[in-house]
Amino acid sequence: MPSTKIRKAVIPAAGLGTRFLPATKAIPKEMIPIVDVPMIQHIVEEAVRAGIEDVVLITARHKESIENHFDYNYELEDSLEKKQKNDLAEVSKKIGKMCNLISVRQKNPMGLGHAVLCAAPVIGNEPFAVLLGDDLIDSKVPCTRQLAEIYEKEGASVVGVMEVPQAETSKYGIVGGNMLNPKLMHVDRLVEKPSPDQAPSRWAIPGRYVLSPKIFDCLRETKPGKGGEIQLTDALQLLAQREKLLAYAFEGTRYDTGDRLGFIDATLAFALRRPELASGVRDIMKKHLNGVV
């Protein structure tokens, strides 16, 4: 077994973001903010809080603004400092210092599994985390840290799961297997977006994984599946036949920010916890609700 410390994370960010058109016509969907923090920064912050040092961003054409966001912006920072706005300059600089960002281009959009495989040369032979940008998970202990702890203790790959209504299984990768305790499953089956009658359970994967590097061989052997794409879920099924794979029901609230209502939900939740915004947001909500009901 290679080293068990989780130091690297892969964040796929190559998608076209068509569910958010027209906003995503000229800017990457990852740069759309929840309040004033781009979605991708929330994801990178989770990874960094979980102890990740190197973030491998899988990008595509027209995604340069993500790289710029995690770089310094000398002109902006210098001009803020000259105007004595040191706090704001620090906000900008802090993002530049957050982590080592390594960009890898996914030249063809061949699916999530293919995007993760693009990171293989940078990850090498060590376990790593995968965080999907459409899933924002709000928790005291970062979801990725919760999974990393299971990996470090059990020496096995682990996917984060949450229970979903039977009718919603077709939106997720779904796991099946034996329950080891009420929060942990030994997985022997995974199905990508099954119809409710085909789902092996109601445990769905909302975009958090800590994986052994053996997943790369599995991805290389995985043929296109659902939607003609190389699916990470299918490669995980192969991994489960070769090595122990666990599913862990993490603690935390998940927001589906890839969906417009989920995005609004996350925006309100994050705005309401900001002391300088909370009471203003409450007043705005009251005003709108009074107008509607």
Binding site for ligand G1P (CB under 6 A): 112, 132, 134-135, 172-173, 192, 204-207, 231-233
For residues 78 and 221, which CB has a smaller minimum distance to ligand G1P in the complex? 221
Least spacing, CB of residue 229 vs ligand G1P, in Å: 8
As to burial, measured by CB atoms within 10 angstroms (0-12 exposed, 13-18 middle, 19+ buried), residue 3 is exposed
Smallest distance, ligand G1P to C-beta of residue 79, A: 39
Question: Residue 131 or 271: which CB sits closer to ligand G1P?
Answer: 131
Question: Do the strands 184-192 and 54-59 form a parallel or antiparallel pair, or are they unpaired?
Answer: unpaired
- Identify which of residues 127 and 173 has a Cβ nearer to ligand G1P in the complex: 173
DSSP summary character for residue 224: P
Q: To the nearest whole angstrom, how small is the minimum distance from the Cβ of residue 45 to ligand G1P?
A: 18
Beta carbon of residue 127, minimum distance to ligand G1P (angstroms, whole number): 19
What are the φ/ψ torsions at residue 199 (nearest 5 degrees)?
-75, 130
Query: Residue 215 burial (CB < 10 Å; 0-12/13-18/19+)?
Result: buried
Cβ contact 245:239 at 8 Å: yes
In the complex, least distance from residue 2 CB atom to ligand G1P, rounded to whole angstroms:
25
Q: How many residues does the chain have?
A: 293
Closest-approach residue to ligand G1P (CB)? 173
Nearest residue (CB) to ligand G1P, 125 versus 166: 166
Whichever of 93 and 193 has its CB closer to ligand G1P, that residue is 193
Determine the Cα–Cα distance for residues 219 and 77; give it in Å rounded to an integer. 42
Q: Which amino acid is at 4?
A: T
Q: How many Cβ atoms are within 10 Å of 213's Cβ, its own excluded? A: 15
Nearer to ligand G1P, 28 or 173 (CB): 173
Strand ranges in 39-154 using DSSP code E only, listed in sequence order: 54-59, 100-105, 128-131, 135-138
Q: Closest separation between CB of residue 173 and ligand G1P, Å?
A: 3
